[in-house]
Structure 1
Amino acid sequence: MTTSTSDEFATYLHPFRQLPNLQKRVLFVLKALPPDVQQDFLGDHRFRVELDNYEPGKGWTLFMPTPGPDGGGSRCVVLKPKLDAASEAFAQYVIAHEFAHAFLRNGGWGEITDVEEAADALAATWGFCRPVA
């Protein structure tokens, strides 16, 4: 299986067109994912990547189905605009961590049942470890 191209990921990059640094970071992480993960995302219409549009006092205008225990519902990754200005390592880690949640369908991974630990562990196998503070 071949690695996916930028064109294949265009739909996932569009929400970040006003944040070119974040857009590049999302693309970098997507291209670094194993081919089976890329194909899982590309082949599932429920997977999408969106920009968090929270406004204090107003809330969000992002609508999506909640994830279900059977993997049903949304596989939407929502990223905050502040990742555009965050350190490279931190931003890439957060993006990979959120992609790991989507890949795991917000569940565990192997023997790891805690969903946050599972996402961290999977992201680390992709080369995106939590940066040391």
Structure 2
Amino acid sequence: MKFAALTEPFADYPQLQQRVLSVLQALPDEVQRDFVDDPRFGTAIENYEPGKGWTLFMPTPGPPGETSRRVVLRPKLDSASEAFAKYIIAHEFAHAFLHNGGWGDITDVEEAADALAAHWGFHRPATSS
């Protein structure tokens, strides 16, 4: 599957870009297809600047039920431990796949994203370093 459009926003952070690609490649085909086939889904690098704030461009929502989805990752994931970075990336992709909703019997959106990321093989590490 082609993920260039989803990894391109991280080109200035090569290690992060590779980590995003690695996570995407590990996701189930159904999830990969959901992201690649959705014109309103994308990724972005957080560009916060103290005193200025940040900007984020989102595609406009479509018809009812067709929302925009964007996974925004921080540059510091480029230098974080690999396990922590991949967990965060998978967690954020889980939010996107679940449309920030629950998963199965799990209704809390954070717990649902954690559980789905773990189901995909990306468990929350004991530490973030």
TM-score, with length taken from structure 2: 0.92
- Deviation at residue 66 of structure 1 after TM alignment: 8.7
1:74 Cα offset (Å): 1.8
Query: RMSD of the alignment, in Å?
Result: 1.7
Return closer, same or farther for 1:66/1:96 CA change in 2, 3 Å cut-off: farther
Which residues in structure 2 correspond to 1:106-121 (within 5 Å)? 106-121=100-115
SS in 2 for 1:83: helix
Does the aligned pair in 2 maintain the 1:49–1:76 contact within 8 Å?
Answer: yes
Please say if residues 109 and 118 of structure 1, whose CA atoms lie closer than 8 Å, have aligned partners that are also in contact: yes
> d(CA) in 2 for partners of 1:123 and 1:71?
24
Q: Note if 1:26 corresponds to 2:20.
A: yes
For normalisation by structure 1, the TM-score amounts to 0.89
Match of 1:53 in 2: 47
The amino acid across from 1:121 in the alignment is A
Q: What letter is aligned with 1:101?
A: H
Matched-pair identity in %: 70
Unaligned runs of 5+ in 2: none
Residue-pair matches, total: 126
Counting only pairs closer than 5 Å after superposition, residues 5-20 of structure 1 correspond to structure 2 as 8-20=2-14
- Partner Cα separation in structure 1 for residue 37 and residue 58 of structure 2: 18
